[in-house]
Structure 1
Amino acid sequence: MNVPPYGEILVYRPLNSSSGEIKGIEAAATAFFDFLPGALRGLGAQANFTYIDAKQIVPPAANFAGGTQTLPAVSKYSFNLIGLYELGPTSVRLAYNYRSANLDGFGAPGVFTTVYSGAVGRLDLSASYNINSNLTVTVDATNLLQNPYHSYVKDPRYPRDIRWEASLLSAGVRFRF
């Protein structure tokens, strides 16, 4: 946009996109090691891996030529690894979750305005104990690794936002009537 006496000004605004396509594959496995002796028979593991190819058609705009782009906020790769213990009244899960970098928003070609969220891994812990059939005590701890969230403009060397999110510990009691 040309605004006298200031000259050429780039104007950015939200724009609805068009149709898109999401395709991918997921593999998952769960195993309990109930062949182990005694209290160890409650051990188990879960794992999954997801690959997603997500594209959408972006309509042309004054500052963007349009075309096919990656769907925002969808990571191409993600996986979960979970160690678990389930025996009698005790339940414990330690879960690691990873997702690869993903597009946050589009920018004009040749201009540093395309924003990405960086890859991130999180470790969470959840435990519960059934005192009786009506009463359960729970403890949850999230983001144990405290890996920072970061977004960047076009290239990871150009950070846009870096946040260190604290771990969160919560406890609860669940009643069944």
Structure 2
Amino acid sequence: MSTPQTPLSRNEQMWVTERVNAPGWGVFYGLVAIVFGIVLAISSWMADISQAALIICLIACAFIIGLGVWITLRAATRITLLQRLRRGREPDHVDDVEIVSISDLRGMVLRYANGGEVTLRGPAPTPAEGRDTVPVSLGETVTLSSWVPANRSAPMIGRVDFSDGARAIGELEEPL
């Protein structure tokens, strides 16, 4: 199923940019931890210390490097999903859902055909032209396109397409 190629509105672009900046710093900090761990391992290896101290230092360096890799991969996963949304890439899943309610904190509660519910949290829905916002009708059936992360450490990203061309984007969360 092909996705509409309408560009994101300025408000939606700002939301995506805000969501990319935080994990972007995660990638930076992860890479810094990796470099720090490598430099520390090299300096420990070259230092004139006992073998037991060297082993302890290298284990600590391996932990720091592993933590840096984990932080970098986790942040990169979130950035990848948001970039797929921004560039209009093909979603992983497309479902027809019903708008059940509007929750606090800019969330739309959506119900799948099988009865499962999910909340879309993000900026207010915008019309196809990308200006202003549009009202949401409860009970309306809309199309939910979702991008699923490679691992479950990042939230799913979703886009709701209304029948009149309006849309809403955001992170998909399971209701409590």
What TM-score comes out, normalization by structure 1 length?
0.21
Of structures 1 and 2, the larger Rg is shown by: 1
Structure with the higher fraction of residues in helix conformation: 2
What TM-score comes out, normalization by structure 2 length?
0.21
Structure with the higher fraction of residues in strand conformation: 1
